A = this chain, B = another copy of it.
Amino acid sequence: MRTTTGGSGTGHREHLRALVSDDLLSRVAWSRLVEPGDWRAAALIGEVGAGEALRALLDRDVEWMARYRARVAHLDPERDLSGAQRVGGRVLLPSDDEWPASLDLLRAPPPCLWVRGPARLDEVLVRSAAVVGARAATSYGEHVATELSCGLVERGFAVVSGMAYGIDAAAHRGALAGAGVSVGVVAGGLDRAYPAAHERLLHRLAESGAVVSEVPPGSAPTKGRFLQRNRLIAACTTGTVVVEAAVRSGSLNTARTAERLGKPVGAVPGPVTSPASAGCHALIRSGAAVVVTDAEEVAELLGTMGADAAPLKAGERRITDELDPLATRVLDALPKRAGRSMDRLCDTAGLDPASVQSALGRLALLGLAERDGAGWRIARPAGPRVPDYARQAAGVVRGDL
């Protein structure tokens, strides 16, 4: 509990009444009065402005506003402002150029945003990916989140995530490793590291990217605020990628919000034996997310159409891919060692002499077949000409695959 300069006396109320003409201080006041996601307060503020809404709370006995009265006694917007300034933070209002416009898609946009760090939110969030997932992540999930984020910042995306253990922290670390912009959206005040072990990470983001909160400095990260923080991550980014999520993970909530806002959602698959991936698989099965397996595919999902298109995964091309079906069949019938006669080639391939003859001509031109005595065989030195299945099976037996 804060011990404050405020109070419930008449002097305090008079002081607050004087603030209603100031949009900044009125919004900062509402930031303290409401819990994140409060759509009734948001609607009122949107309708009459933060100052008028504050005046209504102070002067009129509106029944549904009763819930905000408990916090009026401790309300001290100037103190909250200086609390932010003490850690180098600033306050963004919807009227500011830096305000992320997509937050206005929300049913309950925050009255203001508390921000630390050099990144200009409006500029970096226009090409940004929410990389979210389980706190109880596996080393696989953390590895993928790190790689993904590193690849995304290399492609000019800002990475946005919470600051929790597991995928969140791995996402930020990947973005920092790629010398990119990483934005941490926290559930408590931007002066508080939660978990405490992430104090250093919080400072790195505040130095090179941004830390964002919708509650005033000093606020505790409560369960409800974590859930609402997720809606903020979904709303402020171009799209969301879930790396690992159990079936009850809060990051599924982020994904659902992104989907509801019409933003692209990707999910990274994992072993079906891993409960940490079950939520991702459920998202994909339900059609709420598409499969993404690397930064290229995420960039395609979130990026500018065409410019960010990911190439199809096709594997190494081989000269034998270009062969017509008859030549493939004759190649398949050629022996590796002693040459085989035309008659026997026709029999093995199940083809007439004219077809075999012409196929051999094409194979010889490509360096795939050669004469051997009276017959034909696979040309040496053998490259990728040994049939694949034989090579692979042999590899499995030898244990070298």
| Residues of A that sit less than 8 Å from B by CB | 1, 33-35, 38, 66-71, 73-74, 135-136, 140, 143-144, 164-166, 195, 197, 222-224, 226, 246-248, 250, 268-273, 277-278, 281-282, 284-285, 290-291, 293-294, 297, 312-316, 328-329, 332-333, 343-344, 346-347, 349-355, 387-389, 392-393, 395-397, 401
Contact = CB atoms under 8 A, between A and B. Distances in A.
Contact of A293 (B278, B344, B389, B393): B278
A247 B392 contact: no
A278 B292 CA distance: 11
Contact of A222 (B135, B315, B332, B397): B332
- The complex is assembled from copies of this chain, and their number is 2
A297 B268 contact: no
Contacts of A1: 344, 347
A246 B352 contact: no
A150 to B, nearest CB: 14
A186 to B, nearest CB: 13
5 contacts: A66-B354, A70-B350, A136-B395, A222-B333, A269-B291
Given A70-B347, A224-B329, A285-B291, A271 B352 contact: no
A250 B389 CA distance: 9
Contacts of A248: 315-316, 388
Contacts of A143: 273
Interface core residue of A272, A273, A284 (most chain B CB under 10 Å): A272
Given A68-B352, A135-B392, 18 more contacts: A35-B329, A66-B354, A67-B350, A67-B351, A68-B350, A70-B350, A73-B347, A135-B389, A135-B393, A165-B397, A223-B332, A223-B387, A224-B329, A270-B272, A271-B271, A281-B313, A282-B313, A284-B291
